């Protein structure tokens, strides 16, 4: 499973919002009935 460009874009926006609010974003998960993707596990955080 690979993240789409939209997934990467929203991840960047969430991380930026976390920085503004001084809240660390540790991971972003994408879940489907068959699989999951952890941005942290993939080194995308």
**Residues forming a β-bridge with 24:** none
Q: Which domain holds residue 30?
A: 5-38
Distance CA 24, CA 14 (A): 10
Distance CA 19, CA 34 (A): 32
In a domain, 11, yes or no: yes
In a domain, 45, yes or no: no
pLDDT (0 to 100) of residue 13: 98
Number of domains in the chain: 1
In a domain, 15, yes or no: yes
In a domain, 21, yes or no: yes
pLDDT (0 to 100) of residue 20: 98
In a domain, 43, yes or no: no
**Model confidence pTM above 0.95:** no
- Quick: pLDDT tens for 6-43: 999 999 999 999 999 999 999 999 999 999 999 999 99
């Amino acid at each position: 499973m690979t993240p789409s460009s939209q997934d990467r874009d929203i991840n960047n926006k969430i991380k930026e919002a976390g920085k503004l609010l001084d809240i660390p974003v540790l991971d972003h998960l994408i879940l489907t009935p068959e699989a999951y993707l952890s941005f942290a596990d993939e080194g995308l955080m």
